[in-house]
Amino acid sequence: MEITEFSQPEIEVVLSKVRIIKKEIGAYQKHMFTDYGDYIIQLTNGRIRIYPEEIRFGNELLPERAKDIAFRFRLAK
């Protein structure tokens, strides 16, 4: 499996697409690559899991994938 470190601007592109669907998703704070091969994005009001292939899509991310990502958003307690 290829491990690629994505930058904040690349992740922000995906977050902007997902916020169209779920507006309450907070602002980016930081991200980390997990042992499971995905990314956990820490937001001002929670976190969200994003897969590398979703980040690679960038501006070409399909609405169906954006909905899947939005569903993974977890509000901080």
What would the pLDDT profile of 3-20 be if each residue is shown by its tens digit? 558 999 999 999 999 999
Q: What is the pTM of this model?
A: 0.90
> Residue 1 domain-assigned?
no
> Residue 3 domain-assigned?
no
* Total domain count, the chain: 1
- Average pLDDT over every residue of 12-39: 95
Beta-carbon contacts of residue 45 (< 8 Å; ≥ 6 apart): 24, 25, 26, 75, 76
| Domain coverage including residue 50 | 8-75
> Residue 44 domain-assigned?
yes
> Residue 14 domain-assigned?
yes
Q: How many Å is the Cα radius of gyration of the chain?
A: 11
For the record, the structure tokens of 28 come out as 């980016």
Kindly state the percentage of the chain with pLDDT values over 70. 95
Looking at residue 37, the DSSP 8-state letter turns out to be: S
